[in-house]
Chain A
């Protein structure tokens, strides 16, 4: 695949679409991408294209909750750390 020639943003969108993510999930992830700095964007792009799709899927699913937890910092509910650790349990055998 000639994904390398694509802009990182487009590359991520194409990859996520191929992996079956819906529009909300893609938008959520691209929101993160858009707030990242250039180097971070490149890194995100690499991760999405080479990382295990299941791991990316778990990340995409958990991002909105993590973001919300960061915004309400100290105002009750699960912390970002708790949310991530909970989601990580699915990878424990």
Chain B
């Protein structure tokens, strides 16, 4: 770590947990420091068509047994999320809040979205500019998708 730890941390016995905590914290600091060294710009969303909600929107918590369950619809209803011909972007800032906006230009971003009632695409926009998304067909969870590189569109062709 750049600021330099003293190296006085014990390595055995009851201090083991302390050592693991410090090691993990140093790893996290390394990640945080690497942010400032990056030069690539963060991909900012284009002006949204409509501002939906500036509240913190909990990320969708899916476990294997819940894939395709009514939880998806409940989640959307609980948070006032409407899925019509739109994709949503959840963006985290400062670790404190999330901003939700409607994806402004699906064509430009090459996002595929089907215009039926229960087919939808939820796009998570990462701070590094990449994307991660969840897709649903007829309300059933269809899969997780990741962009391969920063700014590269999510590969949805196989889903058409």
Please report A residues at the B interface, Cβ cutoff 8 Å.
2, 5-7, 9-10, 13-14, 17, 23-24, 26-32, 34-37, 40, 43-44, 47, 51-52, 54-56, 58-59, 62-64, 66-67, 70, 79-81, 84-85, 87-89, 91-93
Bound complex: CA A27 to CA B21 (Å): 20
A24, chain B: closest CB distance, angstroms: 7
Q: Are B92 and A91 in contact (CB under 8 A)?
A: no
> How close is B147's CB to chain A, nearest CB, in angstroms?
11
Pairs A-B, 5 closest by C-beta atoms: A28-B95, A91-B18, A31-B95, A93-B14, A81-B3
- Given A27-B56, A30-B59, A40-B31, residue A59 in contact with residue B24 (CB < 8 A): yes
The prevalent SS among residues of A at the interface is helix
Closest to B93 in A: A31
A81 to B144, CA, bound (A): 37
User: Does residue B106 face the partner (Cβ distance < 8 Å to A)?
Assistant: no
- Within the complex, what minimum Cβ distance (angstroms) separates B152 from chain A? 13
Residues of chain B with a CB closer than 8 A to A2's CB = 64
18 contacts between A and B (CB under 8 A): A6-B64, A10-B144, A17-B61, A30-B92, A31-B94, A32-B95, A34-B126, A35-B31, A35-B34, A35-B127, A43-B27, A51-B20, A59-B21, A66-B25, A66-B28, A67-B32, A85-B5, A85-B22
